[in-house]
Structure 1
């Protein structure tokens, strides 16, 4: 169980919640979680609908009470048997799925309202930084009722940041947006993470959002914490794929080595080799990126291939073969440098190639199949 914080644990969020309340789908719902996470970067809280994601976030915000709970943030106790800090005393910003702007006000009016409420008033420089990072300078004079869904959500995020919170809570902020608007706002969320250094608890059921934004993940199922860990390690976990109903693959944090403007490609390096993939407009050499490769999008060859359209070929070592239940396929675990890669192959191919543990082979990854 989570206990009192020790003197050396200064950048930790510790939480323990146990509560039961009415639930429209099955009559009652029990949340029973106990965890600690570093209070930096983005921690995603994921799981299917009804798993307890929003309830957990509301408990952390102090919007829902759990009588026997314990919650501390960076050594400051927000709730225990003797303490319950009200929401407005927890130094949090909260971004809901619905932006809930004041429709009768302009964007600037909405932001000014947040500044008036802030106990720690933002400086002019911080205000300008928020406006620039979220790209809303040209929206300031517009009425909130004139904005698109993506623009409203960016304003809602700016409003939360202008409270100067120590912790930002985001409850499925992209769930109400269509695919185009989601793709529009994701880069702004990435810039937010890089620019402000405010720890974020981010509720989502989208694996794509987890992959793009999160540093670590908490997986809830039926009100209980069933899995947690760093994104690269967790996404390649077979249990994570089952829990999120996502296809299995690997996530790689890479350094960009080279940008080829002629072919609009870039070369990246990870601890296991180098890969070519399509570049984005805002990416430069000597920066970093995260990518995902599905097990279905990798093939195996005994030798390196010369006459092929596939740009990415890596020498690897076979370390394990895992048959998949009721399928004609197996998952092949191979090692490239210090990186374990998952490959899905048919059992027929496995037999024809006569693969065994310890064997040196090659894998091929199509450039256009790499997910960003």
Structure 2
């Protein structure tokens, strides 16, 4: 696969006894967020350590754009690679305040290399009111936000996140997710994120690198990664669509418009700011129905004209119909094989998608 962007190239071969082998000859895009996705034990964290220079593998080669971090006997240590690291457990210095932790790396970054500065980072991560606190006075989510801030304030050319929400409870994950998303959008620093949680990938990733048994099997855009009914991203909930669009203002009934005029939906008001920043909407394929006729006088408020792009073969008597919306985004619909036959569904057919439930990814 040729990636039309600056890339991170990794070639490495590493074995741990007889139980694990990492065999890598891949390249990862360096724009937006790339998620390393796969089951526990497939080599995601080991790969991240090789990229960071924490794991020096003989014979490995790592290149960041035109910078050769490792090649033959040449090896650039972590502190010279200008990489920001955030792990599952925070690594903040407990004897320093939040402000002192944030400034620790900032002060050690040469002034000409400083692209990010404390005021913009603390505002981005919502930690302005925490600056004078001790680390032991922070919640788990606050500590991770401070860890992200400290990593950003070295003005890294690459940010590596190793399952930064794995140690957090469900409530705290929901609390920190908007800050992670905002950071990914506003910092303009390429991010490589280790995750085995589909919802994190759907919310944050622009690219997905699928890993299995120590190898990267494929690198896809998020849209392509979600385009097929048996994607590794799909869990017990089945096929999922992620639509992108802007939020409108809140109507009197508390709902907000989402998306372009040709493919507009109504979503609950979650307090997010309206504007030009693109938001993501998650829709389960099993929560979408199809109608040959334009729906009238029904309680389902979200219905869109769509065109069938393909119909996948049946699996357990269920079929996934892939449709294109008016703004050419992919919407997956799960129906029975009987429904496909009764409605006479075929590729290129225009009809209506009735969406029973949506979830705005915060």
Normalising by the residue count of structure 2, what TM-score does the alignment of the two structures yield?
0.91
- Which residue of structure 2 aligns with residue 322 of structure 1? 312
Q: Distance in 2 between matches of 1:123 and 1:201?
A: 21
Residue of structure 2 aligned with 1:255, choices 239, 242, 246: 246
5+ residue gaps in structure 1?
3-8
Query: Judging changes above 3 Å, is the alpha-carbon distance between structure 1 residues 344 and 286 closer, same or farther for their aligned structure 2 residues?
Result: same
What does residue 273 of structure 1 align with?
Answer: 263
Map residues 51-66 of structure 1 onto 2, 5 A cutoff: 51-66=42-57
Q: 1:21 aligns with which of 16, 23, 37?
A: 16
Rounded to whole Å, the distance in 1 between the matches of 2:32 and 2:115 is: 25
**Other-structure match for 1:232:** 223
Corresponding position of 1:157: 148
Contact 2:116–2:155 (Cα < 8 Å) also in 1: no
Once the two structures are superposed, the pairs formed by residues 260-339 of structure 1 within 5 Å of their partners are 260-270=250-260, 273-325=263-315, 327-337=316-326, 338-339=328-329
The whole-number CA distance in structure 1 between the counterparts of 2:5 and 2:345 is 49
Quote the offset at 1:84 in angstroms: 1.1
Aligned residues: 359
Structure 1 distance, partners of 2:131, 2:115, is 15
Does the 8 Å contact 1:13/1:39 carry over to 2?
yes
Q: 1:231 to 1:365 in 2, by over 3 A?
A: same
Would the aligned equivalents of 1:12 and 1:75 in 2 still touch at CA under 8 Å? no
Once the two structures are TM-superposed, the CA of residue 196 in structure 1 deviates from its matched residue by 1.7
Unmatched runs of 5 consecutive residues or more in structure 2: none
1:176 aligns with 2:171: no
- What corresponds to 1:213 in structure 2? 204
Report which stretch shifted further, 350-359 or 307-316. 350-359
Q: 1:282 to 1:303 in 2, by over 3 A?
A: same
User: Aligned residue for 2:349?
Assistant: 359
Q: How does 1:180-199 map to 2 (within 5 A)?
A: 180-199=171-190
How far 1:190 moved relative to its partner? 1.6
More moved, 135-144 vs 243-252: 243-252
What pairs up with 1:95-114 in 2 under 5 angstroms?
95-114=86-105
For residues 244 and 270 of structure 1, do their structure 2 counterparts lie closer, same or farther at Cα, with a shift above 3 Å needed?
farther
Q: Using the alignment, how far apart are the partners of 1:10 and 1:320 within structure 2?
A: 30
Q: 1:37 aligns with which of 28, 32, 37?
A: 28
Which whole-Å CA distance do the structure 2 matches of 1:286 and 1:112 have between them? 32
Q: CA 1:120–1:61 in structure 2 vs 1: closer, same or farther (change >3 Å)?
A: farther
| Aligned-residue offset at 1:272 | 6.0
Q: Which moved more, 1:345-354 or 1:154-163?
A: 345-354
Q: Does the CA contact (< 8 Å) of 2:225 and 2:233 recur in 1?
A: no
In the alignment, is the contact (CA less than 8 A) between 2:198 and 2:234 conserved in 1?
A: no
SS of 1:282's equivalent?
coil
Alignment partners' CA distance in 2, 1:253 and 1:98:
32
Q: 1:44 to 1:332 in 2, by over 3 A?
A: same
- Following the alignment from structure 2 to structure 1, what is the Cα–Cα distance between the partners of residues 146 and 319? 47
Matches of 2:143 and 2:269, distance apart in 1: 29
Q: Match for 2:69 among 67, 78, 83?
A: 78
Matches within 5 A, 1:66-145: 66-120=57-111, 126-145=117-136
Aligned partners of 2:282 and 2:358 also within 8 Å: no
* TM-score normalised over the length of structure 1: 0.88
What SS does the aligned partner of 1:238 have? coil
Write out per-residue CA displacement over residues 23-60 of structure 1, whole angstroms, 9 at most, x where no aligned residue.
Answer: xxxx5311112222332211111111001110000000
Shift in CA distance, 72/242, structure 1 to aligned 2, threshold 3 Å: closer
- Quote the Cα distance in structure 1 between the aligned partners of 2:324 and 2:337: 20
Residue 191 of structure 2 corresponds to residue 200 of structure 1: yes
SS state at 1:240 partner? coil
